[in-house]
A and B are shown apart, each in its own frame.
Chain A
Amino acid sequence: MDPDERLVDRALAGDLGAFERLVERHRDAVFRVAARIVGPGEAEDVSQDTFVRAFYRLGRWRREGRFRAWLLQIAHNSALNELAKERPEPADDEALPERADHAGRTPVALVEQRERRRRLEHKVGLLGLNHRTVLVLRDMEGLSYEEIATVTDSPVGSVKGRLHRARGELIELLRRNTYDWDLPDDPSGS
C-alpha cells in the first residue's frame, strides 16, 4: 500500500490537514523537479499550481502507481505549461559574468565547487526539454524507469533511450566547455 494512500483518503473526505501533510511530504521533490525544468524563478509558481491542481484531482489518482509519480506528472505538465509561455532561450554560460563576489571570503575549494555546480546546472538547463526531464527525474531525483514513464506519459523503452541520449548530450556539452570536466572518451566512439 502506498504510504500516502491513507492521507489521500482523508483529504478526499474533506480533511485539509491530511492534504497539508501530503504537501509537506512532497513539496521539496516537486519544487526540485520544477526548479530544474523551468528554473528557480518560476519553480514556486509551478509547485503551487501543482498542489492546487492535485487537490481538485485527488479522486483521479489511480492507486496502482505511486502517489509521488502521479504528483510529479502534474508538476511536469504544469512546468510544460509554464515553458509554453514565451521566454528567451538560456545563453551559454561562457558569456555569463563570473560570480566571484564571495571569492575573498570563502575557501577556494568551496568557491570552485559552487562554480562547478553552477556551470553544471546551467548545462543541464541547455538540454532539450525531453532529455532534461528524464535526466532530472532519473539522475537527480532517483525515480525508477516505470515512475518516469508515468510522469512523462511515455513507454519505459522510450524513457531508457531518452536517458541514454540525454547523458550523451550533457557529456558533449561539458566537453565543449572551457572548464575541465575530465570526461574520458568513449572507446566505442558513440
Chain B
Amino acid sequence: MTPPDRDFESPAEQRLDSHLEIVRAEPPAPGRSLTRRIFRTLRWQRVLIVPLRAVAAVTSGVLAGVRTLIAGRRSPR
C-alpha cells in the first residue's frame, strides 16, 4: 500500500506523508462475511437470470414467428 515512488515535494508534503503512514498502517478491513454475502447474491441472481433469459428467448422467438405470420397474411398474392 506504499506509493510506488515518492513524489512528495515540499517539506509540508513530506511531513504529511509521514502522518499518512499512521493511516496506512491500520487500514479498514472488511468483515469475514463479505465474500459470503457476494456469493449469496450471485447465486440467487444466477438462479433467476437463467430461467428469465430462457423465457425472454422463447418470448422473442414466438413474437418473431407471429410477426412473420402477420406479414405473410398481409402481403398481396
List A residues at the B interface (Cβ < 8 Å): 16, 19-20, 23-24, 27-28, 31-32, 35-36, 40, 43-44, 47-48, 51-52, 55, 113, 116-117, 120-121, 124, 138-142, 144, 164, 167, 170-171, 174, 181-186, 188
Contacts and interface: CB of A to CB of B under 8 A. Distances in A.
Contacts of A183: 12, 15-16
B16 A170 contact: yes
B45 A32 contact: no
B8 to A, nearest CB: 8
B39 A20 contact: yes
Contacts of B68: none
Contact of B31 (A19, A44, A138, A170): A44
B38 A52 contact: yes
A140 B34 contact: no
Contacts of A32: 1, 27-29
B15 A182 contact: yes
A141 B1 contact: yes
Given A27-B30, A44-B31, A140 B20 contact: yes
B24 to A, nearest CB: 6
A183 B10 CA distance: 10
B72 interface: no
Interface in B1-30: 1-4, 8-13, 15-17, 19-20, 22-24, 26-30
B35 A174 contact: no
Contacts of B39: 16, 20, 23
Cβ-closest 4 pairs across A and B:
A35-B28, A31-B30, A184-B11, A51-B38
